[in-house]
Structure 1
Amino acid sequence: MAQMTGGEALAAALVAHEVAVVFGLPGVQLDWAFDALYAVQDRIRVIHTRHEQATSYMADGYARTTGRPGVCLVVPGPGLLNAASGLATAYACSSPVLCLAGQIASDLIDRGRGVLHEVPRQLELAGSFTKWAARALAPGEVPGLVATAFEQMASGRPRPVLIELPPDVLAATEDVAVPDAVRRSSQPPGDPDLLEAAAKKLGRAKSPLIFAGGGIHAAEAWEELRELAEMLQAPVVMTVNGKGAISARHYLAQNMIAARELMPAADVILAVGTRFALPQVTEWGPNGNQTVIHLDAEPSVNGRRGRRLGIVADARAGLAELVDRVPRHNRKRPSREDELTAVKERIDDLLFELQPQASYALAIREEIPDDAIVVNESTQVGYWNWVGFPVYEPRTFIAPGYQGTLGYGFATALGAQVGNPDRRVISINGDGGFMFNVQELSTMALHNIPVITIVFNDNAYGNVRAFQKQFFHGRYIATELRNPDFVKLAELFGVEGRRAEGPEGLRVALREALKHDRPVLIEVPVGEMPSPFPLLIRGLKAAPWSWPCE
């Protein structure tokens, strides 16, 4: 034990857990925490932002692309509320983010005195977008709470966690013991009887089909998934968050458009690391004659909609068990490469008809490295990317999950780049969403974060406008935007700016940007684009706003 302030105890606990980066924005309640981080700058890099929203988005981007927890640090009240959208996105996408949130003085919490940044029941509020939340009331409690936070992120379904830190606790001094770091323990593979039953059904299936979601990336289960899929010659339909679980170059790798063709012929369906929500609300979803096996780390997911066989298990451990068990029951299976390659080619041809989105997206894909990380936004090219963008490696395509958080992308890409300094990171934005965090061009330049940021500029909230045209007879309201010159704006912040005309112009701009390792913004002026949603939601029985995004 040693005499420490609460701030020093926090810094020591983060060092013990090998935290390399903290994304934060300082304020008076956090002075003792930032002073303690000053003393450990050789161990922990502090990246400060221009808005608290960016701290949680950056932590999420860091976490989802590295597999290591991302950490953000914000003041209480408005600071935490600003960060809440990023935490909600991380919650939707099962991302391990630790939010360190300030509080008012501990003796005034929830007393309604109107203290600076006071929000009643802040800890209760945090429970809406975290897996676990707790408050430190003494310096000696801080390291134990940090350890518990890491245990929570390392067990079951990863999601954001939060620790509240009142300023008097950060400033107080007492004897503190810092426990050893929590190491991720081996995850349970699931009930052996259920796994054996699943192995029998899959092995005896004539036409098995696999749905894979973001849980594959969270559990690092991509090799086990590929091995099982090849063993079964089962096509793998990847959700938006599951893209890259199997390389798009593999004939078994399929998208949600192909699922409409593949689902009716399947007799056994394995859904792993996904809520499997979308097929349940479509005309082409599973019917009563098909066996559905659902393997997921969260028990509540497995119990939904009367699953025939639900297995609560870590995706990697559960798939490894199936890889071991299926061969004892597996029938002889000829390769389906020709058949499934033909399916992929038909879907690719269909998707290419949606222009100019397809040409812009494929221009990006063909110019960047296979291992480049693409952070996709809610924009017309981004919607095409949900199904059409080829992804070749795990954890290289990031989307906002069911939150659909407009404006999340740019800041999330900055966090991804910080966590992956040896990879290129591409941020795809529309002009509407980009302006949500445009101020982080300052963060990008100050910390020399070399993201290549693409802004498709149609001077409108383009998707809202498309829906107003389609469903409301062109009664446009609140969709027109007045934008700055994005190239000049980037240059004013100290970021290289370029303008690209058309897909070929974008190719040239990307080639130039990839030649060096510094921040770049590429503005791409575009006109009105055709809505991709008639293609994306075909067969959906619910209204478009009810579409599950995973």
Structure 2
Amino acid sequence: MHRETTGTLIAQSLINHGVDTIFGIPGAHMYDFNDALYEQRHRLRFIHTRHEQGAGYMAYGYAKSTGKPGVYTVVPGPGVLNSGAALCTAYGANAPVLCVTGNIMSELIGRGRGQLHELPDQLATLRGLTKAAARINHPSETGDVMSALFTQMLSGRQGPVAVEAPWDVFGKAGSCANAGQIGRALQAPQPDPDEIKKAAAIIAAAKTPLIMVGGGSVNAGREVRELAERLQAPVTAHRSGKGIVPDDDSFSLDFVAARDYWKTADVLIGIGSRLELQYMRWRWMPKGIKVIRIDIDPTEMVRLKPDVGIVASAIDGTRALIDALKATAPPSRRDELLQLKAAARTAIADVQPQMAYLDAIRASLPRDGFFVEEVSQMGFTGRFGFPVYAPRQYVTCGYQDNLGFGYNTALGVKVANPDKPVVSVSGDGGFLFGLQELATAVHHRINVVAIVFNNSAYGNVLRDQRRAYQGRYIGSDLTNPDFVRLAESFGLKGYRASSPAALKKTLDEALALDAPSLIEVPVEKGSEASPWPFIHPPAS
């Protein structure tokens, strides 16, 4: 049996699992693994970053925009902790991300000797941030450990996993009987016929059903659209479900329009969604409404108990429900839904200057382009004000809402989709969390257009302190660099656009470049209209 080092076996396992790109930073504990990546450089592209958090977010962007595993590698201890925010994001947004890291020498783990990069219990730390984490103690374990982690990552409700190997194990040679073993997603539960029958009976009596989709239904757009047409029911989403039914489809309602419809809804059909809008943001339920949920995660039926819970994939569950419904032809709601859409667009037009700038971006970004939001005034408004036409094209951080994820994530999106335009929209506060990755973009020619809206503040904090704390400002006022000169110092093309019309013209030019670029958009401090009355309206 051929003998290989653990590092080589891990690299080969990644290739066997279809991985073609790894983000990361080399380091002493990882040298033998890094060298194995060098040996496979024609099959595994290594993109080195300037911060471990950037590596994790790029892997997240790769995974979130494609559905394929995103992989990154960092040193143990501080490297793992620096990337922890990205693991939190991947966990919260159900993205298949793999962290490959090291540990101290195997005989010293747990002894508290104070070795380089030692954590008290790194494996426990990783298990607290992921679906699963495991250690490879010997080359012979590599195939089993790696395949098991890929299975965990891809099965059911997807999420991040991590693998570590001690410093001395990465370079240790040995044989591995299962080196070629492949981890695959376990088969999803099949829809329970009795639950399908109950759901069909509820729907048969419904007059105004509403379909809510989330990230768990990104692959079920065809089935969701067919169900919507069969029921003449609108479809809405919060963030991760945007584009599953295109926003210009007559059955698609942004969540501002959907909330008006919600007032008369009698059945809520949640498909691959935590139902955050209805239960956590709208915070009230129409009298007598029935709730049907289709979700691959059985614990969702415990977290939020529905009237009918169908544990299945979004595709299988929705298809089974369609097949169980009697062929009827309810009256068309097209005109009603178009009126709701138009009324919502009129209402949100008052959220300025955000909507004017978002409209300019949408007019310039091709239909198949990717929009990566950030926790910012533009990002918040984009949740309801930026039309999306296909799943995965609106990339969000999910419920973690972490500052600084946007630009770094966008770089991973672009690496995964080199032929598609990618725009990152950040505030000045969040952008500075990861500006060092401008160097990564230039070095690897990752042609993302970064749009930085500069209001010299953490805008949401500033608004809340003005409104709720009588202007007792602390920590919300920011001093910023000249973003155009900053971009140019890194080797990017820098622009400044001071109006929506100027932004559209500039973005057209930037998207035509074969190079990364940055556009700064100055915004008067505190001038933005609050998007929150639409995102988290008062309970009715």
Do Structure 1 and Structure 2 share a fold, with TM-score over 0.5?
yes
**Residue pair 1:281, 1:540 contacting (<8 A) in 2 also:** no
State the alpha-carbon separation in 1 of the partners of residues 188 and 534 from structure 2.
Answer: 39
Other-structure match for 1:380: 377
Aligned ranges 1:271-290 → 2 under 5 Å: 271-281=270-280, 285-287=284-286, 289-290=288-289
State the alpha-carbon separation in 2 of the partners of residues 90 and 363 from structure 1.
Answer: 30
Residue by residue over 1:277-316, the C-alpha shift from the partner in whole angstroms, topping out at 9 and shown as x without a partner, is 3312456632451110011111121123432111211112
Three-state SS of the structure 2 residue aligned to 1:148 is: helix
For the structure 1 residues 259 and 285, does the alpha-carbon distance in structure 2 shift closer, same or farther, using more than 3 Å as the test?
farther
Does residue 91 of the first structure (1) align with residue 91 of the second (2)? yes
Other-structure match for 2:258: 259
For the structure 1 residues 181 and 303, does the alpha-carbon distance in structure 2 shift closer, same or farther, using more than 3 Å as the test?
same
Pairwise CA distance, 1:535: 3.2
Aligned ranges 1:148-227 → 2 under 5 Å: 148-177=148-177, 178-184=179-185, 186-217=187-218, 220-227=219-226
**Residue pair 2:6, 2:142 contacting (<8 A) in 1 also:** yes
Other-structure match for 2:41: 41
What letter is aligned with 2:474? I
State the alpha-carbon separation in 1 of the partners of residues 52 and 81 from structure 2.
Answer: 8
What letter is aligned with 2:399? Y
Match of 1:332 among 325, 329, 333: 329
What letter is aligned with 1:502? S
Three-state SS of the structure 1 residue aligned to 2:366 is: coil
Pairwise CA distance, 1:429: 0.5
Pairwise CA distance, 1:517: 2.4
State the alpha-carbon separation in 2 of the partners of residues 202 and 73 from structure 1.
Answer: 48
For the structure 1 residues 97 and 344, does the alpha-carbon distance in structure 2 shift closer, same or farther, using more than 3 Å as the test?
same
State the alpha-carbon separation in 2 of the partners of residues 199 and 134 from structure 1.
Answer: 43
Other-structure match for 2:290: 291
Other-structure match for 1:544: none
Three-state SS of the structure 1 residue aligned to 2:402 is: coil
Other-structure match for 1:79: 79
State the alpha-carbon separation in 1 of the partners of residues 164 and 488 from structure 2.
Answer: 39
State the alpha-carbon separation in 2 of the partners of residues 283 and 149 from structure 1.
Answer: 37
For the structure 1 residues 440 and 207, does the alpha-carbon distance in structure 2 shift closer, same or farther, using more than 3 Å as the test?
same
State the alpha-carbon separation in 2 of the partners of residues 301 and 410 from structure 1.
Answer: 31
Residue by residue over 1:206-234, the C-alpha shift from the partner in whole angstroms, topping out at 9 and shown as x without a partner, is 211101111112xx111111111111111
Does residue 500 of the first structure (1) align with residue 497 of the second (2)? yes
Aligned ranges 1:56-135 → 2 under 5 Å: 56-135=56-135
Residue by residue over 1:232-253, the C-alpha shift from the partner in whole angstroms, topping out at 9 and shown as x without a partner, is 1110111111111110001111
Other-structure match for 2:23: 23
Does residue 534 of the first structure (1) align with residue 536 of the second (2)? no
Other-structure match for 1:316: 315
Pairwise CA distance, 1:179: 2.1
The number of equivalent residue pairs is 537
Three-state SS of the structure 1 residue aligned to 2:299 is: helix
State the alpha-carbon separation in 2 of the partners of residues 469 and 535 from structure 1.
Answer: 19
State the alpha-carbon separation in 1 of the partners of residues 447 and 539 from structure 2.
Answer: 40
State the alpha-carbon separation in 1 of the partners of residues 329 and 497 from structure 2.
Answer: 53
Other-structure match for 1:51: 51
Pairwise CA distance, 1:183: 4.0
Pairwise CA distance, 1:159: 0.4
For the structure 1 residues 100 and 540, does the alpha-carbon distance in structure 2 shift closer, same or farther, using more than 3 Å as the test?
farther
Residue by residue over 1:340-380, the C-alpha shift from the partner in whole angstroms, topping out at 9 and shown as x without a partner, is 00000000100011111100011000111011000000111
Residue by residue over 1:440-464, the C-alpha shift from the partner in whole angstroms, topping out at 9 and shown as x without a partner, is 0000000000001100011111111
Pairwise CA distance, 1:510: 0.5
Pairwise CA distance, 1:184: 4.1
What letter is aligned with 2:147? A
Pairwise CA distance, 1:530: 2.2
Other-structure match for 2:468: 471
Match of 1:449 among 436, 446, 459: 446
Match of 2:397 among 400, 408, 411: 400
What letter is aligned with 1:119? L
Q: Taking structure 1 as the reference length, what is the TM-score of the superposition?
A: 0.95
Other-structure match for 1:520: 517
Three-state SS of the structure 2 residue aligned to 1:265 is: coil
Unaligned 5+ residue runs, structure 1?
542-550
Does residue 391 of the first structure (1) align with residue 388 of the second (2)? yes
Higher mean Cα deviation, 276-285 or 364-373? 276-285
**Residue pair 1:260, 1:284 contacting (<8 A) in 2 also:** no
Three-state SS of the structure 2 residue aligned to 1:18 is: coil
State the alpha-carbon separation in 1 of the partners of residues 522 and 328 from structure 2.
Answer: 54
Unaligned 5+ residue runs, structure 2?
none
Three-state SS of the structure 1 residue aligned to 2:175 is: strand
Pairwise CA distance, 1:171: 1.2
Three-state SS of the structure 2 residue aligned to 1:436 is: coil
Pairwise CA distance, 1:521: 0.5
**Residue pair 2:22, 2:45 contacting (<8 A) in 1 also:** yes
State the alpha-carbon separation in 1 of the partners of residues 304 and 75 from structure 2.
Answer: 41
Three-state SS of the structure 2 residue aligned to 1:72 is: strand
Other-structure match for 2:347: 350
**Residue pair 2:52, 2:83 contacting (<8 A) in 1 also:** yes
For the structure 1 residues 334 and 517, does the alpha-carbon distance in structure 2 shift closer, same or farther, using more than 3 Å as the test?
farther
What letter is aligned with 2:448? V
Match of 2:360 among 363, 366, 371: 363
Residue by residue over 1:257-286, the C-alpha shift from the partner in whole angstroms, topping out at 9 and shown as x without a partner, is 223211231221101111113312456632
**Residue pair 2:189, 2:296 contacting (<8 A) in 1 also:** no
**Residue pair 1:144, 1:179 contacting (<8 A) in 2 also:** no
Pairwise CA distance, 1:424: 0.5
Three-state SS of the structure 2 residue aligned to 1:383 is: helix
What letter is aligned with 2:29? Q
Residue by residue over 1:26-64, the C-alpha shift from the partner in whole angstroms, topping out at 9 and shown as x without a partner, is 110000000000000110000010000011100110001
State the alpha-carbon separation in 2 of the partners of residues 49 and 402 from structure 1.
Answer: 25
Pairwise CA distance, 1:188: 2.8
State the alpha-carbon separation in 1 of the partners of residues 280 and 55 from structure 2.
Answer: 35
**Residue pair 2:442, 2:491 contacting (<8 A) in 1 also:** yes
State the alpha-carbon separation in 1 of the partners of residues 226 and 55 from structure 2.
Answer: 38
Q: Taking structure 2 as the reference length, what is the TM-score of the superposition?
A: 0.97
Other-structure match for 1:247: 246
Higher mean Cα deviation, 439-448 or 123-132? 123-132
**Residue pair 1:54, 1:411 contacting (<8 A) in 2 also:** yes
State the alpha-carbon separation in 2 of the partners of residues 305 and 321 from structure 1.
Answer: 22
Pairwise CA distance, 1:488: 1.1
State the alpha-carbon separation in 2 of the partners of residues 457 and 157 from structure 1.
Answer: 37
For the structure 1 residues 355 and 340, does the alpha-carbon distance in structure 2 shift closer, same or farther, using more than 3 Å as the test?
same
Three-state SS of the structure 2 residue aligned to 1:101 is: strand
State the alpha-carbon separation in 1 of the partners of residues 97 and 237 from structure 2.
Answer: 24
Pairwise CA distance, 1:540: 4.4
What letter is aligned with 2:193? P
**Residue pair 2:211, 2:270 contacting (<8 A) in 1 also:** yes
